Structure 1
Amino acid sequence: MDLILWRHAEAEFATGDMQDSDRKLTAKGLKQAAKMAFWLDSVLPDTCRILVSPAVRTRSTADALLEYGRKYKVMPELGVDATVREALLAANWPYSREPVMIVGHQPYLGAIVGELLGHPLHDYSVRKSNVWWISQKQKETTDAETYLKAIMAPDLVLKS
């Protein structure tokens, strides 16, 4: 199974009575999301399920994929306060037959990385709009092997 973790792009700071989940992307965040969507569309399998937190900034990040005809599903269990367990259950890790991408938040995305790569007490720092691609392969003679397949940042994407 492939699990792709995409942290939302740069968002505005909460002001006044604004709820954390209502924060919008900044102009820089919109550019980051567009670059990453361009790259993701070129590498994601057509069968990839895309699951998104209901927060405004994650939906806006995922909206960049709509330009490429990719649809997503908003899942309340992937909200800003999600746990590793909730996110992995939503993705059906490691049992999903197709790749799954979660568009979500720190700290749970970094905690997922730590959990799956064998460092459960270490929360990795998944930077804004970065993608971490984790794969698991089942070998015939041994247990499944989980490994980090790729990390991508928007400033590495060449898009005009």
Structure 2
Amino acid sequence: MDLILWRHAEAEDLEETDDGGGADLSRRLTTKGERQASRMASWLDRQLPEGVRVLSSPAVRTEQTVIALGRKYRLRDELRPDGTVDDLLAAAQWPEGKQAVLVVGHQPTLGQTVARLLGLQAPECSIRKGAVWWLRQREKNGQLQTVLLTVQTPELL
């Protein structure tokens, strides 16, 4: 099973939100963030396997990021900024799911998920805004392994 983690692109600060600074979920992408989302979406569209499930946090900035992909997606409350690694893995049905899943979400949860699945000593990885981390679970020599297939940032596209 593939688990593709996409951090939302650059978003406005809380003080810049339409409601005057407070609602984290209402933060929108900046102009730079829109370009990041578009670049990454174009790359992902060429790479994603057939039948991939796409899940997004209900935050405005994550939904704006996933809309750039132009595919059907589902908003999941478990992927909100205050969600946990367990919430994310349950929503993605990792590792039991039969199809690849793209999750559009937030730090630190995405970085914590990468650290846990790769067995890192650090509690989380730093994931850049707009970046994708692509993980795969496989069986090798009778053991289940999680491998990192690629890390891509919009700046390198």
Q: TM-score range by the shorter chain?
A: over 0.9
1:56 aligns with 2:60: yes
The equivalences for 1:59-138 within 5 A come to: 59-66=63-70, 70-119=71-120, 121-138=122-139
Letter in 1 for 2:26: D
Which residue number in structure 1 is paired with residue 154 of structure 2? 154
Gapped runs of 5+ residues in structure 2?
none
Cα deviation for residue 120 of structure 1 reads: 5.8
Counterpart contact for 1:80–1:105, Cα < 8 Å? yes
Cα deviation for residue 155 of structure 1 reads: 1.2
SS state at 1:128 partner: coil
**Which TM-score applies when normalising by structure 1?**
0.92
Cα deviation for residue 143 of structure 1 reads: 1.3
Letter in 1 for 2:77: P
Gapped runs of 5+ residues in structure 1?
none
Task: Give the total of aligned pairs.
Answer: 153
Identity %: 50
In structure 2, how many angstroms separate the alpha carbons of the residues matched to 1:153 and 1:28? 13
> Pairwise CA RMSD of aligned residues?
1.0
In structure 2, how many angstroms separate the alpha carbons of the residues matched to 1:17 and 1:6? 25
Deviations 1:43-73 (A, max 9, x none): 001211000000000000000011xxx1110
In structure 2, how many angstroms separate the alpha carbons of the residues matched to 1:49 and 1:103? 11
- Could you list the runs of 4 or more consecutive aligned residues of structure 1 that deviate by over 2 angstroms after TM superposition? none
